[in-house]
Amino acid sequence: MPRFAANLSMLYNDLDFLDRFAAAARDGFTAVEYLFPYAYAPEQLAALLQQQGLQQVLFNAPPGDWDRGERGMACIPGREAEFRDGIAQALRYAQALQCPRLHVMAGMVPAGVDGADAAILRSTYIANIRHAAEQAAAQGVRILLEPINGRDMPGFFLSRQDQAHALVAEIGAANVQVQMDLYHCQIVEGDLAMKIRQYLPTGQVGHIQIAGVPERHEPDVGEVNYSYLFALLDSLGYDGWIGCEYKPARGAAPHATSDGLGWLKPYLTNAQ
């Protein structure tokens, strides 16, 4: 039976962030993920997790200046010191929150980059991820690389599953894996069932996320038959978490998230 984690950056957005933990627990979630914890003290978040009986299963390393459009620093030459500081900060939070996975965003490709400059971005990325993996290994934390579609995030360094898996192989660290977001994968590549059959048996898929396509609403809205894919994941023995990283179709209306969870109720009644 699939295990689902509520993404608190997108779900329950009619509530203040700190109130979303209790809302997720009331709806039957036993795990959460979100983009960034850094606006809050780690002790405060750890207390909320404990109070609500929740596991923290994923969050992101610092992305640079998010408000100015930065989406990670891993591929950006000249930002290595800032990147390393960010990994150290993320790992302090991971330890406090007992979180076993850390998504490291790749970053945006600067306009006009190609040829030798593109090779420098790749080598910078590989070196930075190797550093992050080495630091994370001491805590038993896995570093995740996520391909993101170019419609939502034009110019992002990493967009395809084969690209991510090739980088994992080249980086060569046992605790580096791919974060397979099926929403992004459907937009860029499609053929989701075959992609799952291809990559899940490699052991390199460390986390899965979902959303309806194309609007990124509930998984039962749109062109993807998620019930079929959940059964496929079960048949292949996937025992990780599935992050619900979608925007409720009713936006920030009161109870929008809870009212849209009809698709999830059959899964929450069993072994979560």
* Cα 251 to Cα 7, 8, 23, 177, 258, distances in angstroms: 15, 14, 16, 32, 12
- 10 Å CB burial of residue 257 (0-12, 13-18, 19+) is buried
As given in the structure block, the two tokens for residue 146 are 């996520």
**245 is annotated as an active-site residue:** yes
Tens digit of pLDDT at every position of the chain (272 positions):
889 999 999 999 999 999 999 999 999 999 999 999 999 999 999 999 999 999 999 999 999 999 999 999 999 999 999 999 999 999 999 999 999 999 999 999 988 777 667 899 999 999 999 999 999 999 999 999 999 999 999 999 999 999 999 999 999 999 999 999 999 999 999 999 999 999 999 999 999 999 999 999 999 999 999 999 999 999 999 999 999 999 999 999 999 999 999 999 888 754 33
- 134, 170, 189, 245: the catalytic one is 245
- 82, 146, 170, 189: the catalytic one is 146
**80 is annotated as an active-site residue:** no
CATH number at residue 194: 3.20.20.150
Is 0.85 topped by the overall pTM? yes
Q: Which domain holds residue 200?
A: 3-269
| The pLDDT of residue 115 | 61
Instruction: Please report the DSSP string for 120-188 in residue order.
Output: HHHHHHHHHHHHHHHHHHTTTPEEEE----TTTSTTBS---HHHHHHHHHHH--TTEEEEEEHHHHHHH
> Domain tally for the chain?
1
